[in-house]
Amino acid sequence: MEISIPKDFVIGAASSAWQTEGWKGKREGQDSFIDSWYKNERFVWHEGYGPGVATNFIENYDKDIALMKEIHLTHYRTSINWSRFFTDYENLIVDEEYAKHIDTVIDQQIEAGVEPMICLEHYEVPKYLMDKYDGWSSKHVLELYVQYAQIAFERYGNRVKNWFTFNEPIVVQTRCYLDAVRWPHEQNTKKWMLWNYHKALATARAVDLYHKKQNDGRIGCILNPEMVYPRSSSPEDQNAAKMYDLFFNRIFFDPMINGEYSEELIDICKEHGIYFDPTAEELAVIKNNPVDFLGINQYYPKRVRAPRYKWNDQTPFHPEKYYESFDLPGKRMNNSRGWEIYPEIMYDMSMYLKNNYRAIPWLITENGMGREQEELYKNKEGIVQDDYRIDFISQHLYHLLRGIEDGSTCEGYMLWAFTDCVSPMNAFKNRYGLVRIELDKQRTRSLKKSAFWYRSLIDERKLFIDDIAVFK
C-alpha cells in the first residue's frame, strides 16, 4: 500500500537538553532535579550511565546538526536546560556561555534548514529551587519560571517560532510524589495535584506573556496523554477508563484547551483532600490563556478495568481507587521497554481530540521505539539494520495519517529520538535514535538504516506499508 503524506505535514525528530548535553562546562550549583536524582541514586541508572556525559552534545552539536542536514530533517525539538541557563536563579543572571551555546545551536540549525522548536522545561527544574522552595509546590518558583520564559523569548524568539512550556508536565510528580518510585521517594498526593495545577497555571502565564509581547510565533505544551481502553463493555470497566482519563489526561487537556477544569475533577479532588485552592484571579488567567497548539507524546495504550478489591483507606489516596491496570493477553510488546505496541493509538487519539475538544492544532512530538542491544543488528559495514524501527514508525504514521483523513487537526510527527540518548534510569539501555551513539570517549555517531529510510520519507513523502503488517 502506498500512502501520500501531505506536503506540509511535519516529519521531524526530538530530544532534550539533559538527555544529550552532558555536564562539560556546567558550573557548581547548576544541577537540575534530574542531575541530583542521578547523583543521589546512581545505582538505579542502567550501568551507571546518565546525564553526566550523555551524548556530549555540548561539544558534538555541530556533528549532530551536520547529520540532521544529511538526512534532510526539517524540524528538531529540544529544550533549554533551565538549570544551566542561569548562574543566579533569584536574580535571573544568565549564564552567558550557555546562552551563547543555545544561540549557536539555533543559528546552525537554521543554516542547515532545520527549524528549531524549543521547550522550556524537560524535567530540568533547578535543584536550587527544589531545595529552597520545594520546586513546583511554590508560587515563587512559578514567578521565576515566567521571568525565565520572558528572557528566553527575548533572546531567541526572533528565530524560534514554536515554543513549549513543558515536556510531559505530569511526569516528575507522578513518579516522585504520587507513585514514590523515584528519588526522593516522598509520597504526597496533594503535592502531586498542586504541581499539576502550578504547571497548568505557569503555562497560562507564559502564554499570556508571549502574546502580550507580540511575539509572532506560537506557544503550547507537550503532553503525554495515554489513550485509555477499558477491558470490556461493562459500565464498571467503562467508568474505570473514564476516571483514568480524568486524572491523567483531562487534568491538562481541560485547562489548557478549554481554559477550565471540569467540575468532576474539582469535586473529586475536594473529596479526597487534594484540592489545589486556586484564586479567582488565577482561574481567570487559565480561562483567558489557552494554548495555541499542543504537542502529544504517544508511545503505548493504557488498558484498565474496574478495581476488583475495596480501596484500603489506610493507604494514601491514589487515583487507582477508581481503576486497575489491565494486562491484555496476547498484546504485542516491545520487550526491551516493556511497553505494549498498538499503533491504533494514533488514530484513536486523533479522534479523541477531534470529538472532545475544539479544533486545536497539534502534532505528535514523540513516538518511537527503544531497543536493547542494537549492536547485534549491525551489518558488516557497521550500520544498524533497524527494520523493526522502520516498521514501528510506518505503522504509527499510517494510523496518524488515517486520522487526518477523518478530520483530525494533526500537523506532524516527530520521532523520539534523533540520536540515541540517555533515558531516565534506563540510560543507554534502550536505543531510540536514527543515529547510533557509541559509548566510547568521543561518543562516536553513525547513521542507522532508519536514518536513510527517514530521509526518503521526508523527500518523497510516500509511506509504503505492507498490507499484511496492518491487516493480518
Please indicate whether residue 381 is annotated as part of the active site: no
| Burial of residue 90, with CB atoms counted within 10 A of its CB: 0-12 exposed, 13-18 middle, 19 or more buried | exposed
Cα(151)–Cα(197) distance, rounded to whole angstroms? Answer: 23
| Burial of residue 279, with CB atoms counted within 10 A of its CB: 0-12 exposed, 13-18 middle, 19 or more buried | exposed
Q: Considering the complex, what minimum distance in angstroms separates the CB of residue 95 from ligand BG6?
A: 23
Give the residue, chosen from 416, 418, 428, 454, that forms a contact with ligand BG6 under the rule CB under 6 A: 416
Cα(362)–Cα(272) distance, rounded to whole angstroms? Answer: 33
Among the listed residues 115, 121, 320, 366, the single catalytic one is 366
Q: Considering the complex, what minimum distance in angstroms separates the CB of residue 309 from ligand BG6?
A: 29
Q: Which is nearer to ligand BG6, 162 or 289 (CB)?
A: 162
Q: 424 — phi, psi (to 5°)?
A: -55, 120
Q: Which is nearer to ligand BG6, 56 or 108 (CB)?
A: 56
Quick check: 168 binds ligand BG6 (CB under 6 A)? yes
| Cell numbers that stand for 142 in this block | 512559578
Quick check: 121 binds ligand BG6 (CB under 6 A)? no
In the range 173-232, which residues lie near ligand BG6 by CB under 6 A?
Answer: 224
Distances (CA, A) of 156 to 126, 221, 320: 21, 18, 42
| Cell numbers that stand for 21 in this block | 548535553
Residue partners of 136: CB distance under 8 A and separation at least 6 = 125, 142, 173, 194, 195, 198, 199, 202
User: Which span (83-91, 265-273, 352-360, 424-432) binds ligand BG6, by CB under 6 A?
Assistant: 424-432
Cβ proximity of 89 and 129 under 8 Å:
yes
Q: Which is nearer to ligand BG6, 278 or 301 (CB)?
A: 301
Q: Considering the complex, what minimum distance in angstroms separates the CB of residue 415 from ligand BG6?
A: 11
DSSP conformational letter for 322: G
Number of residues forming the site for ligand BG6 (CB under 6 A): 14
Quick check: 35 binds ligand BG6 (CB under 6 A)? no
Q: Considering the complex, what minimum distance in angstroms separates the CB of residue 416 from ligand BG6?
A: 5
Among the listed residues 21, 121, 124, 168, the single catalytic one is 168
Q: Which is nearer to ligand BG6, 123 or 322 (CB)?
A: 123
The interface mask with ligand BG6, positions 331-350, x = CB under 6 A, is ------x-------------
Quick check: 297 binds ligand BG6 (CB under 6 A)? yes
Please indicate whether residue 366 is annotated as part of the active site: yes
Distances (CA, A) of 6 to 73, 286, 403: 16, 34, 13
User: Which span (25-33, 76-84, 350-358, 423-431) binds ligand BG6, by CB under 6 A?
Assistant: 423-431
Quick check: 370 binds ligand BG6 (CB under 6 A)? yes
Cβ proximity of 59 and 26 under 8 Å:
no
Cα(127)–Cα(379) distance, rounded to whole angstroms? Answer: 43
The footprint of ligand BG6 (CB under 6 A) covers 16, 19, 167-168, 224, 297, 337, 366, 370, 416, 423-424, 426, 430
> Catalytic site residues?
168, 366
